[in-house]
Every structure is written in C-alpha cells, then in structure tokens.
Structure 1
Amino acid sequence: MFLQKLHLKNFRNYAETTLEFSPEINVLLGQNAQGKTNLLESIYVLATARSHRTANDRELIRFNQSDAVIQGLVHRRADDVPLELNLGKRGKKARVNHLEQAKLSQYIGQLNVILFAPEDLSLVKGSPNGRRRFIDMEFGQIAPRYLHNLTAYRDVLKQRNRYLKLLSARKASDRVYLDVLSEQLAGFGGSIIAQRQDFLGELEKYAQELHLSITQGQETLSFEYESKLKNISGRSETELQQLMYQQLTEQAEKEIFQGTTLVGPHRDDLKFLINGKNVQIYGSQGQQRTTALSVKLAEIDVMKAQTGEYPLLLLDDVLSELDGQRQTHLLQTIQNKVQTFLTAPAMNDVAQNLIKEPKIFMIENGNIKETTAGGKTVLETVTFYPPVS
C-alpha cells in the first residue's frame, strides 16, 4: 500500500496543491511553522478521518474558508483507489472510488498509517489516557468491529454517566434504567477488553523481537494489560461481558455517590515490562525510548499481518529525538518495506547514508518545491492543479 498522489484544498496553510510521492521514502524539509507537520497531518486525516493534533475540525480549514478537501490516490495490491474527505460546517463527507460512504466506519481502513512523533516517545512514561488512545487509534484502523464497539461504548458511557449524576443529585430514581445502561455498557466493554488483549498479544510478539534486536539480546520486553475489572485473565469475551456487568452492579451505590462510571475499558491501562520490571517506574530514559520505538515499529508488522499490506509511516521530526543507534535501527527496519514520510528542518538533520534515493520536498510558508539532495529545484508544486482522479 502506498499513497501515489495527494491533493489539498484549503487545508491548514495550503490553498491548493497536488503532490506525487515516491513509494519509498519522502523527505519534507522546512523550518518550524512552514507546513511540514500540516502536510503529514493531512495524510493522517485522509486515513483516519480525524486529526492527531486537534479535536476541532474547524482548525483544519484554511482561515476565512468554509470547507477543506483532502484527496488521495492510494495503490492497494493491484488497484488504485481514489479517496476523498470533505471537511465543512456540516461535518465530514467521505468518498471511496467517488462513492459517498454512509458511515465513517465504512471509510476508515482504506488507507492505514502509523504516525511517530516526538510525543510518542513518552508513550511509556506518559498518561494512561495516552496509552488507551494509542490502542484505540491503531487498532481501530484495522478492526472495524473494534471501532464499532468503541463508538457504541462511548455513547452509552455518556448516557450512563449523565444518569448517574441525576441519581446522585436525586433528580432521578429509576434503577431499572440504570441496570439497562449497565447491561449495554458491559456488552460493548467486555468485547473491547477481549479485542484489546488479542491485539496487544500480537503487538507484543513483534515488539519483543525488535526490542531484543535493538538491545542486542540484553532485554526482554513484555506487556501487561491492567484493567479495573478483577480477574480478567484467561476469560472469553462472553465471560468478560458478564464479569463487567456483575462488577458494575456491585459498585452501583459507589458510582451513584461519585456520579461517574468506575469500571470499564475507559479506565484501563497498559504496562510495559523489561526483564520483568516496570519500565514506567524502573526504566532509564533510554530504555523507555527503546520500548516506545519497539512498540511503534511493531505496529508495522501487526498491520501487515492483519490487512495483508504494509501501512504508511509518518515520522514527524522524530529522528532528531533518537540517538545514532536507534536512528539506524529505525531506518534499516523501514528501508524498501514501508512508504515513509519524514520531516526535518534541513537535509543535514537526516541520516542520508541510511536513506537511498529519497524524494525531497522543500516547504516554505505553504509553498512546496521538489528538490534534489543538493537543494536544486526539480519541480514547483505551488500552482493550482486538477483534483486527483
């Protein structure tokens, strides 16, 4: 899988432009606030129908414009698939092969991407919310059922929390309705936990191999899923649903008092262990970064195993955050395997000896030029082009 063309109209600081990419490595050069990350973000939004930087779609639309358009031509196996995402006041409209999709869940998964940014190096030592978001975003791209369960779970969770607050304030008294919401929440929540455990089991397998290689066989990486549900180990999806319903029922009085749901996948966490010890607590900064790198690179193989094709890899200024050994391992892992987009302030910041024949784009104030490694302009891409077809 690779992105052949990208057409942007009124996205962030881009008025209108069309780019053609290499199926291997594409280097985006430019100083801060010129549009490098905006370009990566547009690819991420095209794939996932959401930004990794903001929850407000209005921020994605160019100043003083009413809507934005992102179009891409994706090569998948033997076919070229046109994708289109429109962002406007009435929300998002998605098209695959020029056909509008009734639900975004039908659109997501047409193009798979993995984003690796400096903040991802804090995956290990960061907040539980960040680790849950990591699982949900990555697994949601490749498992439509998981995405459906997660969306439904969040909807029911909002309803249940709202009703718990009413019960807490004594503005409602119907416990039967609370029980109905608990049963619905447990149905979706038990499925999510079961699916997360399966996904993390496969991710762990690949991450272990990578981590052993990076550390020259000195460190063994393992995962531990931490749930607010008690005794989840070895349970089937149905058993997890029943267990969650049981524990929601047992904690009902406490939840009413606090006005919020205390049990479920929205409160779970992921623990990383090196040689059996918690990296979050006992690991050095180097071990934490190596763990994050192993996990992110493992996603590439998981997506390949799940979908049959490698995803795109977006590296947003991440090389400058890695030492020479980790840079080398990263670039050797992806070379001739994954279409990659990486940003850097200048070519000096890129490990040129490890990258073979990249396609280079210089970005300045939303204007893009294709250049050679020596800085010679090959093609100006600032002019207006017809949409991708």
Structure 2
Amino acid sequence: MIVEHLSLKDFRNYAEAELALGAGPNVLVGRNGQGKTNLAEAIAYLATLGSHRVSADAPLVREGQDAAFVRARLRHGVRTVTLELQINKQGANKARIGGTSVRPGELPRYAQVVLFAPEDLQIVRGNPSERRKFADQLLIQRTPRMAAVLSDYDRTLKQRTTLLKSARARGMKASALPTLDVWDDKLVALGSEIIDARVKMAEDLQAPLARAYEGVAGADHRPELSWTLSIHGADPEEGDDAEGEAEGPTAAQFRAALAQRRSAEFERGLSLVGPHRDDLLLRVRGLPVKGYASHGESWSMSLALRLAASDLLRRESQGGDPILILDDVFAELDADRRARLAGVVADYEQVVVTAAVAGDVPEPLRGSAIRIDHGRVLGPLVDDPPAETADATHPADRGGDDG
C-alpha cells in the first residue's frame, strides 16, 4: 500500500498543500516548525482517526477556519482508492470514499499506517492513557468496526459518570438511583468487547514484539506485554497494579467488579471499573519498563511496539504493507539504533521519513527528498542546508501546531 498523492486544505499550518509520493523511501526535509510533521499526521489520521500529538480535533484546523480537509489517493497493488476527510472544529467529522459519503470509521478499512515519532517514548514512560491510546489505535486498524465500539463506550462512560457526579452532589445512595443499572448494562456490553479485543491483541503482539525488540536492540531482553485489568481489582490509574483472581466470562467479571466498587463510585462520583482504567504492562528482563528500564531499553521497547504493530498488520492485510512513517525519529536515536531501525523497515512498500537534516537519515532510507518550508511543499531537494542552519532553529519543544 502506498500514498500516491496527498492534498490538504486548512490543515494545521497549511492553507493548501499538494504532495506527490512514490514507492520506497520518501524524505520530507525542513527545519523544525515548518510543517513536516503535519503532513505525516494527516496521513496517519486517515488510518487511526486520531492524532499522535493531540487528543482533540480542533488543533488540526487552521486558525480562523471551521474545518480542515484531507484527501489522499492510495494504491493497493493495481487498484487505487481516494479517501477524503472533513475535520470539523465543532461537530462530527465527514468522510468520503471514492466520492461516496461514508462514516469516518470506514476509512481505516482502506488505509493502514504505522507512525513512529519521538512521542512514542511516552507509550512506555507515560501514563496508562498513552498505552491505551496505542492499543486502541491498533485495534481500529485491525478491526475498523472497533472505532464505533470505542466511541459508544466513551459516550456511555460520560453519561454514567455524569449520573454518578450528580448523585454524589445530591447525597443520593445507590438504592435511590435505579437508572444506573441501565448504564451499567451498556458499559458492561461495550467494555467487555473492548477488554477481550485488547487481551487478544496483546497475545498476538507477543511474538512480533520479541522479534522486533531484538532487531532494534541487538539483544533479547525478554520483552513482554500483558493487560492489568480493573475488573480484576487493579486500578492502574491510581498506581495500584495488584490484581485478584477472577474466572468466568469477561462480562460476568465486569458486572461483579461494578457491584464491588459501587459504594466507592458513589463516594467519588467516578466510574472506577472498565477498560478506561486498565493499563498495558510492559516488561523487559522480567521487570516493568516504567521505572526500571534504561533510556536505551525504553527506546528499544517503544520502537519494538511500533514494529510489532506493523508486522502484525503486514501479516493480516490483503492490501499490502502498511505505510510506515518515521517522524523525526532518527535525531532521537544513537547511530546503532538508527541503522538497525532502517534495516528493519527498508523493505516496506512505502516509508515516509521526516528530518530536519537529510544527513540524519540512514542510507537505506535516503530516497527522493522534498523540501518543506513555512507550510509549503517546495519540491525536490537539491542540496541539504548546513547542519548548523537547521540546528539553530531546533526548538526544545517540538509539539507545536506547525511541527
């Protein structure tokens, strides 16, 4: 699978942009803050229905505009398909496939993208929400209908939590709020499906993760991943990873856990059980990565997770390899990991690399280079600027809207 052409209108810092890409490696070169990452973000959004930098859609829309537009022509072997997405600052987004209106949740059926970025370090070092986001975006790519399940769960969770907060403010007891049972039923039905899908995905990722970790680290540190579940008594959101023993169908365990935490939920006005409280536990050498792994081991794990995800999608897809995007990754890695990562991904159908300096990109990925400057795609790069020119404008915080 490759992106042949990308068109943007009012997306981030782009009033308009047209970007032609080819098979194999493609390098987008420009100083930080010019818009390289925004191009990568737009491609990835079509596959994951989310940004790797922000949790809301509003920042994706250019200042002063109400909506942003992303259009991409993808090629699957000899077939092509055009995906279009309207990202609204307020209200629901709209999508079209081949000119026909569809739900945005249909887009991941046609676009598979794995994006590597410096922010990936937060998957292993950050809060549980970072690991849930990684897992759920991969869930959507493997099974696009899970986008609707996750969205319905979020809406149900908000309604249920609002009810609990209202009951807490009014000093009500559980027996005086029978409508909560209705929301419990919805929460259990949707949440159980998410939990089961996440657990199955972790099992499927284990072997690819081990291969990928050794590929980028050059050593086998026994990487492992498993879910810590709130329906088993843990609460990773509050630093409690201790789980009790549980048997039986997930839905039955979920319902029993809700009954057990009912009083606490009323006291705090929060929904304390469900996939929104779970965490993906990552280990190397038998120890949790968070808190025990070295900086190098943390980077190896974050890279291995993305590589494992791309390997899984590659094996399951009938539409060819997923598109790989390496967004400013090489500037963060030592020479050994740069070379190892490049060697692992070089044979994918299409790799899109962003870099402040073209010389940072390892030889196997030095394909056609395109200059990006102030929200403009300027065309093929002839000569890379001196390193000091690019470095002089390298901000400490690269997470701005016009990255």
TM-score computed with the length of structure 2 as normaliser: 0.86
Report what 1:342 is aligned to.
353
| Distance verdict in 2 for CA 1:56–1:266, change over 3 Å | closer
For structure 1, which segment, 42-51 or 277-286, has the greater mean C-alpha deviation from structure 2 after superposition?
Answer: 42-51
Letter in 2 for 1:292: S
For structure 1, which segment, 127-136 or 63-72, has the greater mean C-alpha deviation from structure 2 after superposition?
Answer: 63-72
Instruction: Find the aligned partners of 1:232 and 1:359 in 2 and give their Cα distance.
Output: 54
For structure 1, which segment, 242-251 or 85-94, has the greater mean C-alpha deviation from structure 2 after superposition?
Answer: 85-94
| Distance verdict in 2 for CA 1:146–1:47, change over 3 Å | closer
Q: Does structure 1 residue 292 correspond to structure 2 residue 302?
A: yes
Q: Does structure 1 residue 191 correspond to structure 2 residue 193?
A: yes
For structure 1, which segment, 282-291 or 103-112, has the greater mean C-alpha deviation from structure 2 after superposition?
Answer: 103-112
Q: Does structure 1 residue 367 correspond to structure 2 residue 376?
A: yes
Instruction: Find the aligned partners of 2:44 and 2:113 in 1 and give their Cα distance.
Output: 7
Q: Does structure 1 residue 305 correspond to structure 2 residue 315?
A: yes
Letter in 2 for 1:60: L
Deviation at 1:95, TM superposition (A): 0.3
| Distance verdict in 2 for CA 1:108–1:345, change over 3 Å | same
Deviation at 1:46, TM superposition (A): 3.2
| Distance verdict in 2 for CA 1:302–1:126, change over 3 Å | same
For structure 1, which segment, 196-205 or 9-18, has the greater mean C-alpha deviation from structure 2 after superposition?
Answer: 9-18
| Distance verdict in 2 for CA 1:192–1:3, change over 3 Å | same
Asked whether the 8 Å contact 1:26–1:340 carries over to 2, the reply is yes
* Alignment coverage as a number of residue pairs: 371
| Distance verdict in 2 for CA 1:151–1:56, change over 3 Å | closer
Match of 1:176, SS state, is coil
**Over aligned residue pairs, what C-alpha RMSD do you find?**
2.2
Instruction: Find the aligned partners of 1:117 and 1:171 in 2 and give their Cα distance.
Output: 47
Report what 1:379 is aligned to.
none
5+ residue gaps, structure 1, are: 377-389
- Please list, as runs of the form range in 1=range in 2, the aligned pairs for 1:56-95 lying within 5 A after superposition: 56-88=56-88, 90-95=91-96
| Distance verdict in 2 for CA 1:259–1:90, change over 3 Å | closer
Report what 2:256 is aligned to.
246
Instruction: Find the aligned partners of 1:216 and 1:54 in 2 and give their Cα distance.
Output: 33
| Distance verdict in 2 for CA 1:203–1:172, change over 3 Å | same
Report what 1:314 is aligned to.
325
User: CA offsets, 1:216-247, max 9 Å, x none?
Assistant: 444211112111122788967xx001110111
1:323 to 304, 326, 334: 334
Deviation at 1:13, TM superposition (A): 2.2
Asked whether the 8 Å contact 1:347–1:373 carries over to 2, the reply is no
Instruction: Find the aligned partners of 2:66 and 2:375 in 1 and give their Cα distance.
Output: 19
Letter in 2 for 1:115: L
Instruction: Find the aligned partners of 2:120 and 2:291 in 1 and give their Cα distance.
Output: 18
Q: Does structure 1 residue 122 correspond to structure 2 residue 122?
A: yes
For structure 1, which segment, 80-89 or 60-69, has the greater mean C-alpha deviation from structure 2 after superposition?
Answer: 60-69
- Please list, as runs of the form range in 1=range in 2, the aligned pairs for 1:186-265 lying within 5 A after superposition: 186-230=188-232, 239-265=249-275
Deviation at 1:333, TM superposition (A): 1.0
Match of 1:144, SS state, is coil
For structure 1, which segment, 329-338 or 254-263, has the greater mean C-alpha deviation from structure 2 after superposition?
Answer: 329-338
Instruction: Find the aligned partners of 1:57 and 1:110 in 2 and give their Cα distance.
Output: 21
Instruction: Find the aligned partners of 1:220 and 1:90 in 2 and give their Cα distance.
Output: 45
Asked whether the 8 Å contact 2:49–2:105 carries over to 1, the reply is no
Asked whether the 8 Å contact 1:46–1:71 carries over to 2, the reply is no
2:285 to 255, 263, 275: 275
Deviation at 1:66, TM superposition (A): 4.0
Report what 2:390 is aligned to.
none
Asked whether the 8 Å contact 2:114–2:325 carries over to 1, the reply is yes
User: CA offsets, 1:99-120, max 9 Å, x none?
Assistant: 001x222233321111211110
Match of 2:324, SS state, is strand
TM-score computed with the length of structure 1 as normaliser: 0.89
Asked whether the 8 Å contact 1:157–1:185 carries over to 2, the reply is yes
Instruction: Find the aligned partners of 1:179 and 1:318 in 2 and give their Cα distance.
Output: 47
| Distance verdict in 2 for CA 1:212–1:374, change over 3 Å | same
Letter in 1 for 2:288: N
Instruction: Find the aligned partners of 1:108 and 1:203 in 2 and give their Cα distance.
Output: 19
Asked whether the 8 Å contact 2:215–2:344 carries over to 1, the reply is no
| Distance verdict in 2 for CA 1:91–1:53, change over 3 Å | same
Instruction: Find the aligned partners of 2:354 and 2:94 in 1 and give their Cα distance.
Output: 29
| Distance verdict in 2 for CA 1:258–1:191, change over 3 Å | same
| Distance verdict in 2 for CA 1:70–1:201, change over 3 Å | same
User: CA offsets, 1:154-186, max 9 Å, x none?
Assistant: 111111111111222237664321122112211
Letter in 2 for 1:136: D
For structure 1, which segment, 216-225 or 329-338, has the greater mean C-alpha deviation from structure 2 after superposition?
Answer: 216-225
Asked whether the 8 Å contact 1:179–1:249 carries over to 2, the reply is no
Asked whether the 8 Å contact 1:49–1:85 carries over to 2, the reply is no
Report what 1:266 is aligned to.
276
Task: Give the share of equivalent positions with the same residue, in percent.
Answer: 32
Letter in 2 for 1:140: I
